[in-house]
Amino acid sequence: MTRLLHNIGSTAAGTMVSRVLGFLRDVIIARMFGAGMATDAFFVAFRIPNLFRRLFAEGSFALAFVPVLSEYRKRGDQRAVRELIDSISGVLIAVLLIVTAVGVLLAPLLVRIFAPGFDADDPRQAMATDMLRLTFPYLLFISLTALSGGILNTWGKFWIPAVTPALLNISLICAALLLAPVLAVPVMALAWGVLLAGALQLAFQLPALARLGLLPRPGWWPGHAGVRKILRLMLPTLFGSSVAQINLLLDTLIASLLMAGSVSWLYYADRMFEFPVGVFGVALSTVILPRLATAVGGQRMIAGSHADDQQFTATLQWAMRLAWLISVPAAVGLLLLATPVLQTLFEYGRFSDADTRMTGMALQAYALGLPAVIAVKVLAPGFYARQDTATPVRYAIISMVSNMLLNALFIFLLLSYVHAPAGATQGLLARLAATPGLHLGLALASAVAAYINMFLLWRQLRRLGWWQAPAGWLLDLSRIGFMSLLMALCLWLLSDLQVLVGALQDRWWLRVAALLVLVLSGMVVYAAAGFFFGLRLSWLQMPTLPRVTPAQEQ
């Protein structure tokens, strides 16, 4: 296996730890708080700083910082690397302090903007505002954590940044179990847990930086050439790197106008959807970005050589093949197992069978877009590695506008098809709030928008010559399609076992056992079908990067 595959495995394993703890966290929150007004308020208060985290910290900043840092490291000047790290950390801290102060001060306004359905008479507005004042400083800590993680990833240290998010889940679990019972408003414990998690995540990464001798010493040098370059690259990627999160926030805004519980149903569905995206898609994107940036750097240093250009294309081809190999069966699995998965994880305590049905509808819609979401995470780094941040943002804006239009279209169609309960008032807002299932339209719109974004990125890469279809790609896609169909047939034949999962009620361990049988059966059939159709471990291998000799560097 190549070093690249090892790094992806390390990142995915660390992310897996976090995601498993995340499931436990969501199970506890669902059991203790259900899906209602209190959880709607918390998810809005948490989603606002989380959006800014995805936009600035893990989105635009990481995608601009890593290629520039890789470029400085490639030069071999340790002093210049130190100056870049110290300069960008100082500027980042100053900006974050201002943004955090403004966010806390304007918390009521932010809640009204991002959740207009929480009007003055709605108790969710006051709860969300109070919690946002606690959760917004999370942005400060997590952005500095992203800075630390970017440095570690550039130096090939992927495990620590990947496992760091687990501390958020541990903090929220402890807050729900230990702090909530003693508070007058129990759900406020979750907001305190978010704040504590931010500080813990940053502290967790600092020792690893110290061991590398790269612990930032913040200084105010906004005129530093590297800082200016990072900031210049960041501006367009504010949209391009996080279109999925922007779409999700727009969904939250609209969901606040729908039936109570819609925000929570979409949240739980998104959490399940994010499992394969986070474990595999993010791991793949995180690992290939430094490699792509290195290939581009090699091109600049070896005049007239096409080796690195070929390596750039080969890396994208390999990553896309791997993305389809994982994402297609994962999407099929979520489509067919949405209900038993949700029953096993959440349907206890205050999370009802109706909540499972509503969440399952959204999860199945999200699952339709899973291959596109993971493909975007492979294709977009192809532009960022070449420091082309303008192209992805154009397509991100198109995708986002498409999502908004599709939201309106799908909700209108569902509103025409699904009738509000008898006696409901006929005003539009009243009908939206009384008609069940309209949140399905939001999830469907997100899935379609992801395919639009994927197609535009792929088409432009192909036009620029940065992507060529690998030999036999139609045969490879056909194999994956047949393998997934056989897996789906297996799960359909085990439909009685799926019904049994729902009938087990509070016997959670039997539910888990039955679900594991379903999942493992599907995986075994998929793997066996792959072997039958001629897929071997060589599929997972990646050619090594060409070595750059000292003479070539000069």
Look at the block and give the residue holding tokens 């080969």.
314
What pLDDT score does 106 carry? Answer: 93
Q: Which two tokens stand for residue 470?
A: 């690998």
pTM score, whole prediction: 0.71
Structure-model confidence comparison of residues 539 and 253, the more confident one: 253
User: Does 198 have pLDDT greater than 90?
Assistant: yes
37-52 and 138-154 helices cross at what angle (nearest 10)? 50
Full residue range of the structural domain in which residue 119 is found: 36-233
Which DSSP string do the residues of 188-221 spell out, in sequence order? HHHHHHHHHHHHHHHHHHHHHHHHHT--------
Give residue 554's pLDDT: 40
**Number of independent structural domains in the chain:** 1
The confidence score (pLDDT) of residue 539 equals: 62
Residue 257 · residue 117 · CB < 8 Å: yes
Asked whether residue 144 is assigned to any structural domain, the reply reads yes
| Among 283-292, 352-361, 416-425, the range of highest mean pLDDT | 352-361
Structural domain includes residue 486: no
Q: Which residues contact 493 (CB under 8 A, 6 or more apart)?
A: none
**Domain contains 391:** no
**pLDDT value at position 553?**
40
**Portion of the chain with pLDDT greater than 70, in percent:** 85
Give dist(CA 446, CA 511) in Å, integer: 30
Q: Say whether pLDDT at 238 is over 70.
A: no
The 10s digit of each residue's pLDDT in 142-191 is: 889 988 988 888 887 878 888 898 899 999 999 999 999 999 889 899 99
On the question of pLDDT at 56 being above 80, the answer is no
Query: What count of other Cβ atoms lies within 10 Å of the Cβ of residue 482?
Result: 14
User: 493: which 2 tokens?
Assistant: 């034949």
Residues in CB range of 431: below 8 A, 6 or more apart? 415, 420, 424, 425
Task: Name the band, by pLDDT with cuts 50, 70 and 90, for residue 58.
Answer: low
- Residue 52 belongs to some domain of the structure: yes
Cβ-Cβ contacts under 8 Å for 279 (sequence gap 6 or more): 12, 15, 16, 19
Buried b (16+ CB within 10 A) or exposed e, 255-271: bbbbbbbbbbbbbbbbb
For every residue of 118-144, DSSP letters joined together read S-TT-HHHHHHHHHHHHHTTHHHHHHH
Give, in degrees to the nearest 5, the angle at Cα 230 between 228 and 232: 65
Any domain includes 160: yes
Backbone phi, psi, residue 29, to 5°: -65, -45
**Helices 307-345 and 3-33, packing angle to 10 deg:** 20
Structure tokens at 352: 């009802």
Give the Cα separation of 169 and 25 in Å (integer): 6
Residue type at position 476: D
pLDDT over 50 at 548, yes or no = no
What type of residue sits at position 319? Answer: A
Q: Which residue has the tokens 């009007």?
A: 119
| Domain assignment present for 292 | no
- Per the CB < 8 A criterion, the answer to whether 49 and 227 are in contact is no
Amino acid at 14: G
Residue type at position 404: M
Q: Are 370 and 334 spatial neighbours (Cβ–Cβ below 8 Å)?
A: yes
Burial class (CB in 10 A: 0-12, 13-18, 19+), 143: buried
How confident is the model over 351-379, as pLDDT tens digits? 888 899 999 999 999 999 999 999 998 89
Q: Considering only CA atoms, which of 354, 50, 397, 97 is closest in space to residue 241?
A: 397
Phi first, then psi: give them for residue 349, nearest 5 degrees.
55, -120
Contacts of 461 (CB under 8 A, 6+ apart): 316, 379, 382, 383, 467
| Residue 169 belongs to some domain of the structure | yes
DSSP 61: I
Report the mean per-residue pLDDT for the chain: 82
- Whether 81 maps to a domain, the answer reads yes
pLDDT digits (tens, 9 = 90+) for 201-236: 999 999 999 998 888 888 777 778 888 888 887 776
